[in-house]
Structure 1
């Protein structure tokens, strides 16, 4: 993001994810930092979301993903300076504690992420080179064409060598030994054996296949290699280990891969690619709707990584990928919805974010800033983008939309790759244009309501695991303390104290009896820094927590430790009982309200066993915050250093 100090952002992020000791692995993709954390509960997710330069946080696929935007490589580089020993951390199994899907997604992400931009860039390079040749602008018999084609095709042709490096890092194998194995697969004399004639290895028949541009064989081979190397490190004497380990590993792995791993994985990969081709050839409408409509949903949850090797294998097996066909419509539809928000909204902050986010989606195919920063918070633009993508994707699939180069980012810049390979280009283009027009039009006329978002973090964004608390038997409101007295002596209800001739101040009452302390004294940097809002801390004297303002409960955690209330004046209040009490999982908390319930200032929110909190080793200090304090002139604590009763005034919000 323009103006972001990445050198300052990196240590801030590292601290908030729990420090260097909590980071097991770190990688990045087009827009996200992908942390593998040892304990995700140590990460201050709410504070990270509100950090300048961060779009949002996504916890999916066994990874803790911090969405930065197009400048993620700069942040990653600064973080790696602070994590010099990260690559040597082999104490933890990256897949530990995950289900098979999470482990698979993490595997593919970790292997493909580091080389994704190069794959995209060289793929686009090859598309332009081929397009210039097809238009007659460049002779295919010229030396110039030969050099340019080699430059653009080499990365994909020798993809097993590249994957050997990234897979070795993931499986903690020797990457140079991995490259030796991969090199044997694409060695010219081995490639030349794929001539249809019978071949053997010590009398054992070889099933010779082409491994150029292949994906699965080398990944599986490196995985097996990692076990052989560990065995060698245990069994080979130390004086011979350094050279004997790679010698033994290559001696075993190259024949093993050519005899078994290569043929088996190639057949599996070819079968998957053929199945995809059958689906798009037989029922293209279904394939187009699913990919075009839900591609961005897959991206949100990291599930698209599971399709990356399939698309690459499609190109290796068939010469083109049909999955790519509907994706262009899906991507540009979301970008168009964001553009509509930018043109229609009156919110300055949204416009400033939506403009670059839309441009990034259109030109580069990078939609995370558009999705997380603009469309998803407003919901309808995201849904309209899905509708446009589904319709455009269906037409794109019917048109046989495809690309012949892996790594293409569906975008306006990537158009040549589609135009070069798609049989019915006109129908495919109509689908893309319809996707853009539909999502833009629906969003412009029906999807932009400025009351959907204020541009500031509301209570729902500032509480861990916000879910509905309690059950049907908890929906009766309790009678709380007497209404609050406004600062000027007028009786109030936790709302507005009128002042003739000036905007009325807003009074917020204390949610609990105790001693008021300055927010900076709260023993949690997420609160004391003010990053989540302005307010005060209260050292509680009893365990009855009441509503500090009249309004609607927009957050009620299932653990009962935190509540968010939005008043009729659009004040957003967070009441957080105790520090790190989310880990108590509701033990000692008895909620009296549920999400969506209307409360008056003084109504009981939750009964808390303070002694149980202390016995569990946590601080019972309760935090009272105005989370959208930036919308007001000032938030002032009226009783810092004093005792207060629940229901007495505690904060004054100046308009």
Structure 2
């Protein structure tokens, strides 16, 4: 099968339709680019149809439609890179996380971090090299050169809320500049100073429990999530004459105080409670306290709860000369770094390996785990869990030996001397070694093995674990079932020239009698339009099926459609894909015929759809032979 260069294809299509200046707008549905041209006479339709990767071109509803098939999102994305046409088009498909609450939370955090992973990895590596340079005497820690380089390495971590404000705003569809203003207020020098002062703080008479938001993650993500709903409400409620400046004004006035008044106290009180409880446990059951600190320290960091431990640690160092709370952090950090290193060895995906290598190095040398956690371990889930397991065991052993730190350092190999003068050094090394071995070993032998086709971590998509293995090749016959009850329409009679021509593959239409659409096969959803009108599913044995609800229903922009499944989700035959209000679709003037197409027909031995009759949901409608 001929390989298609989709970037070149996007450029050739752009040239073929008369260039960017001849395009009013561009969107895409499940199979085709939909362009509105200023002058269709400038488009060379014959030339566009001959392009490798283009199935056909059709003109309908005032649109110039370039039919590409399943890879249309790729071409659309490439158009976005070379033009400004696709910005905020609003109809492209995007992953919507499903599964349990923890999985959805992890996928959300991972997708928000994805665009900043490479700078984060670079900054972490720079911190590691600076730490090494000062340790071996190549760089004077008090020199101005070190100050400048340290600022270069630390800035991204310190102002992390500003970066996350942008990516979270894109994810939640909020105004990203308002989001940056909210984040900027949280790390504003005077706000940081308020968090450091011992006296009470209030806002309009309301007590405010301050915390340091620099480097934090969850507070700004929660703030932007709330911002998107507030902006939508204000956009509907405010008069258009004042909406443009009043919406950001009111959003800032509400969100910044709200975050300071609510997130600060909640985070601080929870963190203080954890700190007090764990400190008490060190006197009763040190191994248990160490297991908790070693296992969950990275989770505390994720939620910003680690700030509650720092005063206690610093006070212990000042009064006792060492901090036992600090001891289990060494195995906690190195276990996550080891899990990241195992991914670098195990994964077959070059882009993931390119992040994992330097991220592991910054974790081991400088104790900077953010690049590894957010770019590698957390998106893949299991390496993060295995790192926690290593931290639990290592933390318990280290705490049982009474190990601690005599100075406030990043837990790392370069910071190891600060841990060797308190407690049992042998148990410190054994516990840390066990944490590293567990984190690395479990990830290497049981972690997900990605393949080359997995999207790069900076592509902005969280990678589902179901995509991490190659589908097996099988032979035999597969039955594609009816996704809905209704009357069959032979493909040649479907009121869409592209589908009727068979250009998208063999299949059939069904005029549904109800609006519940089910999966016709067992497999993984590879494409899901967020408008809810189309789903592309690939079975375990390689059959690619498109379920397209209605003709030209992308124009409804989701009205009347409720998606019940999302891209990346594993579905069984008969699982609910969508619920459609058929009356709404019909009243809008659109054909409700639902298409069931085998889009990779050309790669299969035979594809035989039924051509007439009345079907019940779950009846066999297409017989596929390999």
Bigger RCO of structures 1 and 2 (CA < 8 A, at least 6 apart) = 2
Shorter chain as denominator, the TM-score bin is: 0.3 to 0.5
TM-score normalised per structure 2:
0.47
